[in-house]
Structure formats: C-alpha cells, structure tokens
C-alpha cells in the first residue's frame, strides 16, 4: 500500500463495559487509537447488468489501512461525523501489511 493513497484520518473505537451507579453493566465504545491514516470509500451503490445504478438498502463503506491486530468485528471506525461498524475484515495478501474493512453506517 502506498502512503499517498491514505488520505483520510479515522479513529478506531473498541467496545468497553462498565458498571453504572445502579450496578448495571453498560456497554459503550471508546476511542483507543485516535488517529490512523486510511482510505475511505462509499461503496453502497450497486450497478445492474445493464449499467443502471440501483439503490442498496444500507450505506456501505470500504476502509483500507495498514494492518492493525486490534481490529475485530466489534470495532467501529469514526470518520467525518460517521460511525462505521466493521462487518468484514480482509487481511490483504495475508501478510499483515494492509487491511480492507467492509463497514456499514452505525450512527450519523
């Protein structure tokens, strides 16, 4: 992966759990790595075989970044006011060099 392709800065968020005042377990997300260079692309548009653009129900994004071992399916990516939930992880070339994450919008 060439560094010039990584033009956006994203934050990696991991789930955390804590007890509230009533003793109930609460789950939230905390930013663990505040700044990581990545390439973020909206890939939610799908083309038919005739070349017409079709609406895809959910807004999907592809995030590419250098390999990070802490990325799991529980991870969220914060980018430009969006919170993206990781739904797919691909270790490109399986050499722990680059990750391709398939994400869906969790929050705006």
- Condensed to tens digits (0 to 9), the pLDDT of residues 42-84 reads 987 655 556 555 555 578 999 999 999 899 999 999 999 999 9
More reliable by pLDDT, 53 or 15: 15
Mean pLDDT of 11-29: 88
| The two three-digit tokens of residue 22, written as one number | 């009533």
69 to each of 18, 26, 52, 72, how far by Cα in Å? Answer: 24, 25, 39, 8
More reliable by pLDDT, 86 or 45: 86
Distance of alpha carbon 9 from the chain centroid: 12
Choose the CATH number for 3-107 among 2.40.10.120, 3.40.50.300, 2.30.40.10, 2.40.10.270.
Answer: 2.40.10.270
Residue 79 pairs in a beta bridge with 82
Tell me what pLDDT residue 106 has.
Answer: 85
Q: Measured between alpha carbons, how far is 62 from 54 in angstroms, rounded to an integer?
A: 18
Tell me what pLDDT residue 1 has.
Answer: 67
Mean pLDDT of 7-28: 88
Angle, CA of 36, 6 and 76, to the nearest 5°: 40
More reliable by pLDDT, 12 or 32: 12
What percentage of the chain reaches a pLDDT higher than 70? 85
Tell me what pLDDT residue 24 has.
Answer: 87
């Amino acid at each position: 992966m060439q560094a010039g392709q990584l033009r956006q800065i994203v934050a990696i968020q991991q789930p955390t759990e804590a007890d509230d005042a009533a003793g109930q377990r609460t789950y939230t997300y905390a930013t663990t790595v505040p700044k990581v260079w990545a390439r973020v692309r909206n890939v939610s548009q799908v083309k038919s075989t005739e070349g017409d653009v079709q609406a895809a129900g959910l807004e999907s994004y592809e995030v590419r970044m250098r390999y990070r071992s802490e990325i799991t399916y529980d991870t969220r990516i914060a980018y430009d006011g969006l919170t993206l939930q990781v739904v797919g992880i691909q270790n490109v070339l399986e050499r722990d060099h680059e990750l391709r994450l398939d994400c869906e919008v969790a929050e705006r």
